[in-house]
Chain A
Amino acid sequence: MDIQDFLAMEANSDRDDLVDLRALDFVSSYDSHLMCPICHCPFVQPVRLQCDHVFCQKCLGSAITTFRSADSDEFPCPSCRTPTTRISTRVPRLLVNMCDEIQVRCPLVGEGCNEIVPRGHVQSHVEKYCGYRLLPCPDESYCRCERCNEDVMEQDFAEHDKELCPSLEATCDDCGSIVPRRSLKKHVETCPDVVSACAASQYGCSVKVRRADIAAHEQQCPLVSIGPYLEAQNTRLNSLELTMRHLQQRNEIFEDGMANIRSTLLESARVSDADRNGGRSAPNGDRDGQALIDAEDPADPANSFSSHTTQYLLSLHESLREEVSQMSHALTDLDARASMTIMNECLRIKEDMAHTNAALNSVRMQVQWLMNPRLHNGTRANGMRTNSASNESTRTQLTSTSAPGPSSGTGVSLGPLRPRRPSDSGREGTKL
């Protein structure tokens, strides 16, 4: 493209990039040939001239505006001063890649980002990934307070308007002085003209004077001087009331318990009475005790209650014992029955096993009888063959192993021979 086009492109290209690629902190070292001769930084958007010199697009733009003699269509190359008319934005990919892979520190290192990225990625890192970039708050709805010219957030405006605005003032009702509204409460607490009651008002002093005069009154007021004593009495009364309440509660609980006990005793007495009247079979001792109790009954009802209970408990005990003995009887019964059934079962199983054994034996006999002639013939022939073969092998073994020691040689040669014969004969014996 020619100079006019280039300058137009340069003017249109986006200038407000987030990151100034020339102000970066370069971590890795780079070749000085990757440095633009004008800005002395690694090329940013390099462009190439006819003379093969390469510059950043922006640097070349400023060089052209400085060096070009009024609107002529050529300018001297900033490196070699060759008159140049055409600029190529096509530079070797290699050059761009080498510039873009130089490692740089994230420019937000001041905010705390310690990331090191290739220069080609720093733009997108800052734009999208860097967690330290400062952003404007999305909620910018401020209201301006008209009285104090202060920007207040919308949510706080009502409070500001009524209380916090420093321009608001309020008059103290008592002393008539004018104070900022926000400190009115504090003022009222300390205002010397506020009428307040005597400290002993709770004990009956009805005097009410200004705060400034109250000290003088309190020195004379008799109620104030006995105030501490009354206070102590009050606390004592309170604590006593508390203990009283506790005791009352405990008492109630005890009474309840007593009533319960009484009602159970009455019930049991009635039950035992019914027992005695209903069944005459009760033991003698029991009847005697009952008679004794009956005799004493009118004299001492409490004593009769206790004897009734013992009687009741004894009878209960007795019946329980009976039940237990019945249970044990039943248990032994069950035990005997179970062992009998087990024994029966065992006997039957034993019989079955004897039968099975007999059948098995007869089958074995038959099988042996069937196998006998065939085995007899087979082993004869086999035995003769194997015997001759093994004899030959032992002979060769003998000759070969005679060198280390004759005794061991014979041992080896007899080993395989000996067990065969007895086993063969044994088998023949069983067959017969």
Chain B
Amino acid sequence: MGSQKRIAKELSELVESPPDGITVELADEANLYKWKVFMEGPEGSPYQDGKFLVNLTLPTEYPFKPPTVSFGTKIYHPNVTNDDKGSMCLGMLRADEWKPSSKIAAVLQFARQLLLEPMPDDAIEGRIAEQYKNDRKRYDEIAREWTRKWAVSE
């Protein structure tokens, strides 16, 4: 029960004063534990102009257990799995790294920062990480193309 209060509090804070390029809503009004987050690709990154759907799932033990973040929109990124799950690996979200004092706003801002600066050393998709490190131009190109293909709504 304690978790619900804190989640409701954080949600209202995020809805009232959303961080840059991030809008938050509940996937289902009756369920506080599943959030739909729309993240705009940060300027200066190949994801610019794209609008990415991020699914945020909170455990019932929140804030003692970390939330999970996955991309609902396909994205070409070294830290996001290139499958239909689109799970994202954030350092701070690992069970042993997670601190109850971290807020969801911080998690989302961290995720957005990751779009601007991928972490190839902590990558899930090794191939993309390799490309990011060695052939940055090509990576930018593909990422921009994927963004145009999946993340830009006409």
* A-B complex is real: yes
* Chain A contact residues, CB within 8 Å of chain B: 22-23, 37-41, 58-59, 62-63, 66-67, 78-81
Q: For the A-B complex with A22-B5, A62-B2, A78-B64 known, give 6 more contacts whose Cβ atoms are closer than 8 Å.
A: A38-B64, A39-B2, A40-B103, A41-B9, A63-B100, A80-B99
B92-151, CB < 8 A from A: 99-101, 103
**Contact, CB under 8 Å: B100 / A40:** no
Distance between B43 CB and nearest chain A CB, rounded to angstroms: 29
Taking CB atoms, residues of chain A closer than 8 Å to B6 are 38-40
A23 interface neighbour in B5, B99, B101, B103, Cβ under 8 Å: B5
**Contact, CB under 8 Å: B99 / A66:** no
Taking CB atoms, residues of chain A closer than 8 Å to B9 are 40-41
B7-48, CB < 8 A from A: 9-10
Per-residue contact bits, chain B 53-68, to A (CB 8 Å; 1 contact, 0 not): 0000000010111000
Q: Which residue of B lies closest to A59 (CB)?
A: B2
**Contact, CB under 8 Å: A66 / B64:** yes
Taking CB atoms, residues of chain B closer than 8 Å to A81 are 99
Taking CB atoms, residues of chain B closer than 8 Å to A41 are 5, 9
Distance between B5 CB and nearest chain A CB, rounded to angstroms: 6
Distance between A129 CB and nearest chain B CB, rounded to angstroms: 26
Distance between A108 CB and nearest chain B CB, rounded to angstroms: 19
CA distance in complex: A78, B102 (Å): 9
**Contact, CB under 8 Å: B101 / A38:** yes
Taking CB atoms, residues of chain B closer than 8 Å to A37 are 99-101
CA distance in complex: A62, B2 (Å): 10
**Contact, CB under 8 Å: B64 / A63:** yes
Q: Which residue of A lies closest to B9 (CB)?
A: A40
**Contact, CB under 8 Å: A62 / B101:** no
What are the nearest 3 A-B pairs in CB distance? A37-B101, A66-B64, A78-B100
Q: Bin chain B's interface residue count.
A: 10 to 19
Taking CB atoms, residues of chain A closer than 8 Å to B61 are 66
**Contact, CB under 8 Å: A40 / B10:** yes
Taking CB atoms, residues of chain A closer than 8 Å to B10 are 40
Taking CB atoms, residues of chain B closer than 8 Å to A63 are 64, 100
* Cβ contacts A to B, 12 pairs, < 8 Å: A22-B2, A38-B6, A39-B2, A39-B5, A40-B10, A41-B9, A59-B100, A63-B100, A66-B65, A67-B64, A78-B64, A79-B101
CA distance in complex: A67, B103 (Å): 18
CA distance in complex: A67, B64 (Å): 8
Interface of B is mostly: loop
* Chain B contact residues, CB within 8 Å of chain A: 2, 5-6, 9-10, 61, 63-65, 99-101, 103
Interface of A is mostly: loop
- Given that A38-B100, A78-B101, A79-B99 are known contacts, is A62 also in contact with B64, CB under 8 Å in the complex? yes
Taking CB atoms, residues of chain A closer than 8 Å to B64 are 38, 62-63, 66-67, 78
Distance between A66 CB and nearest chain B CB, rounded to angstroms: 4
Taking CB atoms, residues of chain A closer than 8 Å to B65 are 66
CA distance in complex: A281, B100 (Å): 137
Q: Which residue of A lies closest to B10 (CB)?
A: A40
Q: Which residue of A lies closest to B103 (CB)?
A: A40
CA distance in complex: A47, B59 (Å): 26
Taking CB atoms, residues of chain A closer than 8 Å to B103 are 40
CA distance in complex: A41, B6 (Å): 8
CA distance in complex: A62, B65 (Å): 12
CA distance in complex: A290, B44 (Å): 149
CA distance in complex: A78, B6 (Å): 16
CA distance in complex: A59, B62 (Å): 12
CA distance in complex: A22, B3 (Å): 11
Taking CB atoms, residues of chain B closer than 8 Å to A58 are 2
CA distance in complex: A78, B61 (Å): 14
**Contact, CB under 8 Å: B63 / A38:** yes
For B6, B9, B10, B100, the residue with the greatest tally of chain A CB atoms inside 10 Å of its CB is B100
Distance between B109 CB and nearest chain A CB, rounded to angstroms: 17
CA distance in complex: A183, B42 (Å): 79
Q: Which residue of B lies closest to A80 (CB)?
A: B99
Q: Which residue of B lies closest to A22 (CB)?
A: B5
CA distance in complex: A62, B60 (Å): 13
Taking CB atoms, residues of chain B closer than 8 Å to A40 are 6, 9-10, 103
Distance between B55 CB and nearest chain A CB, rounded to angstroms: 23
Q: Which residue of A lies closest to B7 (CB)?
A: A40
For B2, B5, B61, B103, the residue with the greatest tally of chain A CB atoms inside 10 Å of its CB is B2
Q: Which residue of B lies closest to A67 (CB)?
A: B64
Taking CB atoms, residues of chain B closer than 8 Å to A59 are 2, 100
CA distance in complex: A67, B65 (Å): 9
Distance between A74 CB and nearest chain B CB, rounded to angstroms: 15
For A39, A58, A67, the residue with the greatest tally of chain B CB atoms inside 10 Å of its CB is A39
CA distance in complex: A66, B2 (Å): 14
Q: Which residue of B lies closest to A23 (CB)?
A: B5
Taking CB atoms, residues of chain A closer than 8 Å to B2 are 22, 39, 58-59, 62
